[in-house]
Amino acid sequence: MNTKEKDSKYIMHTYGRYNVALKSGKGAAAFDEDGKRYIDVSSGIGVNSLGYCDEGWVNAITAQANTVQHVSNYFYNEQPSNLAEKLCTLTGLSKACFGNSGAEANECAIKVARKYSFDRYGEGRNVILTLKNSFHGRTVTTLSATGQDVFHNFFFPFTEGFKYAEANNLDDVKNNIDEKVCAVMIEVVQGEGGVVILDKEFVQGVARICKASDILLIIDEVQTGIGRTGKLFAYQHYGVKPDLVTMAKGLGGGLPIGVCLCGEKLDSVMSPSTHGTTFGANPVVCAGANYVIDKISDEAFLNAVEEKGAYLEKKLLALDEVKSVNRLGLMVGIEIDGDAHDMAEKCVANGLLIITAKALLRMLPPLTITAEELDEAVTILEKTLKENTK
């Protein structure tokens, strides 16, 4: 059996896969099992932030694997300590909690928010308001947090205590706030929802409403964080100060990690045995993340992300077949005529690894992608669009 046949036989069919078995990669180029080369503007859904097999990153994780690969959370280790220090220093937030995925980081934020409210106000003030069209993960609780009916199926009963307001509608947020609400959780750019960039007035309005009633503001930066939008975190475009920030995808540079950061007000909410995970804070993963953060937090690196994004947007808008582009940094949604998923499959066949978000094509290229590689990506996209649109 080949890879595809084995996958079909032995792996649960929770994903519709493209017809490609990826074998290796370097920078923004990926290679399949037959050695065919692809330009990858998906970077594993924004995970391979420095591209495939960045030399410094490989050295960092290899060195750590040769030193100690895992210590339990009952012991100290320099890698997570250093990473937490960097993340707190760079954001002005106060403490980190480590996990292994975006959903887990959000679970942690939800637990911290509810415990803060329980400690301070007692039982019953536990509702978390999220936005319609949001995406916060696949665990039973983060599915509840996700404000899309299609996700609220099959797996009943879902976790109680979530309400949903319309994005960019401050009145709807106000109408949903009552004495039971302890937190509001938002993505400032809804990634899975179709690269929907929230209005500045809306996000600032939500922050104001939260502050007035000691309601915690949780920003889900799982997709938008770690330089993706041209700032270290996307909320930094909005001039707000969240109480909790979650991150995951791009942070490990390709290894699984999720982090929940909290501000000073919350830094003593969690105590021993209120939360934990066996694999969280893994030294090899944190060594990779330390390398990624050192690279990406550089001002010039972040400015280059925005410059590349602007360059890409201009080239995309010059294509007749492109109707519009939603973009912040290198987080890009592309509106086309016709079915985006079908077009994505055709792009892949033509050598461009691209994904979709709702009805849009979506690009989340490695942040290190070069102008030549972006040119190559747009050329393949253009060719594919021309072949398939009348």
Considering only residues 27, 44, 51, 191, which one is a binding residue for ligand PLP as defined by CB under 6 A?
Answer: 191
Instruction: Between 55 and 149, name the residue whose CB sits nearer to ligand PLP.
Output: 149
Considering only residues 41, 61, 103, 378, which one is a binding residue for ligand PLP as defined by CB under 6 A?
Answer: 103
Considering only residues 40, 107, 220, 345, which one is a binding residue for ligand PLP as defined by CB under 6 A?
Answer: 220
CA separation (Å) from 162 to 146, 147, 184?
Answer: 9, 9, 10
Q: Which of residues 271-310 bind ligand PLP (CB under 6 A)?
A: none
Q: Which stretch binds ligand PLP (CB under 6 A): 170-178, 218-226, 284-292, 303-311?
A: 218-226
CA separation (Å) from 174 to 104, 259, 302?
Answer: 28, 29, 35
The mark string for 224-263 relative to ligand PLP (x by CB under 6 A, - otherwise) is ------------------------xx--------------
Task: Report helix, strand or coil for 355.
Answer: strand
Structure tokens at 181: 């609400």
Residue 176 burial (CB count, 10 A): 16
Longest dimension (CA), the chain: 62
Does 344 help bind ligand PLP (rule: CB under 6 A)? Answer: no
Q: ∠ at Cα 158 (126, 225), nearest 5°? A: 70
Q: Which stretch binds ligand PLP (CB under 6 A): 6-14, 59-67, 133-141, 204-212?
A: 133-141
CB of 283 to ligand PLP, least distance (A): 20
Instruction: Between 192 and 243, name the residue whose CB sits nearer to ligand PLP.
Output: 192
Report the interhelical angle of 283-296 vs 55-65 (nearest 10°).
150
Q: Which helix (H) or strand (E) holds 235?
A: none
Instruction: Between 151 and 322, name the residue whose CB sits nearer to ligand PLP.
Output: 151
Residue whose C-alpha is closest to residue 346's, from 317, 310, 376, 382: 382
Considering only residues 80, 102, 309, 329, which one is a binding residue for ligand PLP as defined by CB under 6 A?
Answer: 102
- Angstrom distance (rounded) from CA 248 to CA 193: 18
Structure tokens at 205: 């309005």
Task: Report helix, strand or coil for 30.
Answer: strand
Instruction: Between 207 and 234, name the residue whose CB sits nearer to ligand PLP.
Output: 234
Binding site for ligand PLP (CB under 6 A): 101-103, 106, 135-137, 187, 191-192, 220, 222-223, 248-249
